[in-house]
Structure 1
Amino acid sequence: MGINYTTVGELKEGSYVVIDGEPCRVVEVSKAKTGKHGSAKANIVAVSIFTGAKKTLMAPVDNTVEVPIIEKHIGQVISEPRDKVQIMDLDTYETFEIDLPTEEEVRSKLRKDAEVEYWEVMGRKKIVRVK
């Protein structure tokens, strides 16, 4: 499935974490000092890689959390992008379809024969940039 584990206390801005089964990039970390009756707590704010939805996680810093393994690949667009983009992986020559990216700066550069970087995370694929 592509998952590692770390503690909440090791998460930093820019790192990745799985919240509610969704792989997310951490955008904000705040930690509260230990109280009289417990351990330090961390408040993690993250944004989903696939949907852009904001997620929060409040947990003790010594709790274990899942971290998604991100596989980065290079592919080539082999059809005119419409609602889906057909990609051929330049290493394996496997072809597959990916949803059109939601980010306008990536979407606007997609053309037939363009090289793209795509990520495979937890069995899902996403185009992150056009080369």
Structure 2
Amino acid sequence: MSVTHGSAGELKKGSYVVIDGEPCEVLSVSKSKPGKHGSAKVRVEARGLFDGTRRSKIYPADATVEIPIVDKRSGQIISVSGNTIQVMDLETFEVFEVPIPEEIAGEISSGAEVEYWVSMGKKRVVRVKGQ
């Protein structure tokens, strides 16, 4: 797995965190003060990078959390078939298939250059470049 570790108290909006084994982008962080017999808590609201599901989790502020390493790469669309596309990485020339994201379905065409993200063994096309 491609993850690092960090403190839950240092998470910020826009950073990444692993919740329930899924890499997520942090949407909001709220911190509570320590009580008489307890420690400070951090409530993290996040959205999955690959499935779009909202998740929330409460951590002690000094807890160690997993932070996914998100690799942002460029590729070129080789072919479009149904609801999947074949993408070739522009550096390694590796070819792989991914589903077409609903947000950019109208912009997809063969030969177009795309940005895709790789994290924890999963791949997702994020945007079409140059449009």
TM-score range, shorter chain: over 0.9
Match of 1:7 in 2: 7
Unaligned runs of 5+ in 2: none
Counterparts of 1:50-89 in structure 2, within 5 Å, are 50-89=50-89
AA partner of residue 70 (structure 1): V
1:130 aligns with 2:128: yes
AA partner of residue 127 (structure 1): V
The separation in 2 between residues aligned to 1:119 and 1:39, in whole angstroms, is: 36
SS at 2:80's partner residue? Answer: coil
Match of 1:107 in 2: 105
The separation in 2 between residues aligned to 1:74 and 1:88, in whole angstroms, is: 9
Cα drift, residue 81 of structure 1: 4.7
The separation in 2 between residues aligned to 1:33 and 1:43, in whole angstroms, is: 12
AA partner of residue 41 (structure 1): K
The answer on whether the counterparts of 1:81 and 1:111 sit within 8 Å (CA) in structure 2 is no
Unaligned runs of 5+ in 1: none
AA partner of residue 89 (structure 1): D
The separation in 2 between residues aligned to 1:35 and 1:15, in whole angstroms, is: 27
Match of 2:35 in 1: 35
The separation in 2 between residues aligned to 1:110 and 1:82, in whole angstroms, is: 12
The answer on whether the counterparts of 1:70 and 1:120 sit within 8 Å (CA) in structure 2 is yes
Cα drift, residue 80 of structure 1: 2.3
The separation in 2 between residues aligned to 1:97 and 1:65, in whole angstroms, is: 31
SS at 1:108's partner residue? Answer: helix
Aligned length: 129
Q: Percent identity?
A: 51
Cα drift, residue 86 of structure 1: 0.2
The answer on whether the counterparts of 1:74 and 1:90 sit within 8 Å (CA) in structure 2 is yes
Q: CA-to-partner distance for each residue in 1:99-126, whole Å, 9 max, x for gaps? A: 1113x2x222111000000010100000
The separation in 1 between residues aligned to 2:7 and 2:74, in whole angstroms, is: 31
Match of 1:98 in 2: 98
SS at 1:78's partner residue? Answer: strand
